[in-house]
Structure 1
Amino acid sequence: MSTPLMFRASMEGGDHGIAPDVSDRHGNRPDPATVALWAFMAVATSLFSLFIAAYVMRMDGTDWSVIAMPWQLWLSTMMLIAGSVCLQLSNGFARHRRWDGAHLLLVSGGVFAIAFLGAQLWAWQTLLESRVAPAGNPAGSFFYLLTAMHGLHVAGGLAGWGATLSGFHRQIGAVRVARRMRLCARYWHFLLAVWLVLFGTLGWLTPEVVRLICGTR
């Protein structure tokens, strides 16, 4: 896959450098998009932290029954790791103005993210076939809630990924495209970190482990 000709022409005709991470082209003012992304990730971190805290506290209920994690979660984890790696490499290629490689890796990162969502839906189907419904067992309810919330954040990230990809098909300049790619990669690393915490919580945090940690066993 080659970089679109229109974008290649804009590389040759203008932007000869990549904008710094925290400043915009008008001076030392913080880049609004960077600030907005950090603020959003802070809010999302607080939200997931509250959900995990509620998950831990709910484990004390007598109606709690641990569910077996579907194997598809391992597949989805690999997809998200691969997507994060691709977007980081894409960012590096853009920094060195290797636009063909940056474009290919950017596309690959989005494809892996879509595959992640597909694997998550497959895991849901597996649980539903095993009669693990969203209602009834609170462990199952939290599983669907937490994975759905994370999936929505991935879907939102795909919207940003699409906007970044469109920069290769419009004459918006190297600086703007590189900035979008940098922010896209950063958000994907955040999604991966959140998912690894959720995966560990859902798969290995049991009532017995919580009692052992809290010293109530």
Structure 2
Amino acid sequence: MNVILVFLAAVAAIIIWWLSGQRLTSKPWLETGSVQLPAHDGADRPAVPAVKIGLFVFLGVVGALFSLAVSAYFMRMASADWWGMPVPRLLWVNTAALVLSSAALQWAKREAQHGRMEALRPALVTGLALAIFFLVGQIQAWRELTAAGYVLADNPANSFFYMLTGLHGLHILGGLAVLTHTTVKAFSTDVAPERLRLSVDLSTIYSHFMLAVWLLLFALFAGWANDFVDLCRTLLK
């Protein structure tokens, strides 16, 4: 339960911080003049797209889903039939690939904001290729574990590993569909710059979030999260 509350509080804090930065708490019925939201430096800027707000709501739901799964992981590992499984070295390579993919999309976001299409296209392709590499690497890690005898139904630790990595992989796959569409649009000659910029922004936000989730899961499988929880419990006593 403590893990759920901490994770949900972190997700809520991020969403509230972002919404406050967009001035969604302003009172438009008390404002006159331009329909645009004024920035803090006095310049006008357009209102926040509804699709971006929808993305943050969706990420909040996804965060709650993973927090429940992680909480169940902590509760189940206290059982007598729990045997830990080794972390494949390939997961380190996969993690590096996902970090680089997220960094490439951040690069793409910056290039899209400045309208530099020649630099945007390779950035998107790099981010897409690295994300695909991550998924292929995850499948290969599964194959290595099953070949070593760590099958799904062997013990609860195995089941949770395959379930959590599979769930995360499905979300990465969904993000890849959007990222692929965005990359194809970037190579189109009649693409609207504003729509492309928004698509890149959404893909970048989603990529950063899924990277954060994976780092949490990786820490969980490596045992670092357990040490962190034990430390927090000791400090709270």
TM above 0.5: yes
Percent of aligned positions that are identical:
36
Q: Label 1:152 to 1:210 Cα distance change in 2 as closer, same or farther (>3 A).
A: same
In the alignment, which residue of structure 2 is the partner of 1:17? none
**Partner of residue 197 from structure 2, selected from 151, 170, 178:** 178
In the alignment, which residue of structure 1 is the partner of 2:12? none
**Deviant stretches of 4+, over 4 Å:** 26-29, 205-215
**Partner of residue 102 from structure 1, selected from 120, 134, 137:** 120
Q: Are 1:121 and 2:139 matched, yes or no?
A: yes
Bigger relative CO (Cα 8 Å, ≥ 6 apart): 1
Scaled by the length of structure 2, the TM-score of the pair is 0.76
* Counterpart mapping for 1:31-46 below 5 A: 31-46=49-64
Q: Are 1:70 and 2:88 matched, yes or no?
A: yes
Q: Distance in 2 between matches of 1:193 and 1:121?
A: 20
Q: Label 1:114 to 1:125 Cα distance change in 2 as closer, same or farther (>3 A).
A: same
- Please list every run of 5 or more consecutive structure 1 residues that lacks an aligned counterpart in the other structure: 1-20
Q: Label 1:211 to 1:179 Cα distance change in 2 as closer, same or farther (>3 A).
A: closer
In the alignment, which residue of structure 1 is the partner of 2:32? none
Secondary structure at the aligned position of 1:132 is classed as: coil
Secondary structure at the aligned position of 1:48 is classed as: helix
* Counterpart mapping for 1:1-217 below 5 A: 27=36, 29-168=47-186, 169=188, 171-205=190-224, 214=233
Root mean square deviation, CA, Å:
2.2
Q: Distance in 1 between matches of 2:228 and 2:101?
A: 32
Scaled by the length of structure 1, the TM-score of the pair is 0.82
In the alignment, which residue of structure 1 is the partner of 2:14? none
Aligned residues between the structures: 193
Secondary structure at the aligned position of 1:140 is classed as: helix
CA shift, 1:60, in A, is 1.1
CA shift, 1:130, in A, is 0.9
- Please list every run of 5 or more consecutive structure 2 residues that lacks an aligned counterpart in the other structure: 1-20, 24-34, 38-46
Q: Does the 8 Å contact 2:219/2:225 carry over to 1?
A: no
CA shift, 1:41, in A, is 0.5
Q: Does the 8 Å contact 1:79/1:113 carry over to 2?
A: yes
CA shift, 1:208, in A, is 7.9
Q: Does the 8 Å contact 2:179/2:203 carry over to 1?
A: yes
Q: Label 1:134 to 1:64 Cα distance change in 2 as closer, same or farther (>3 A).
A: same
AA partner of residue 106 (structure 1): L
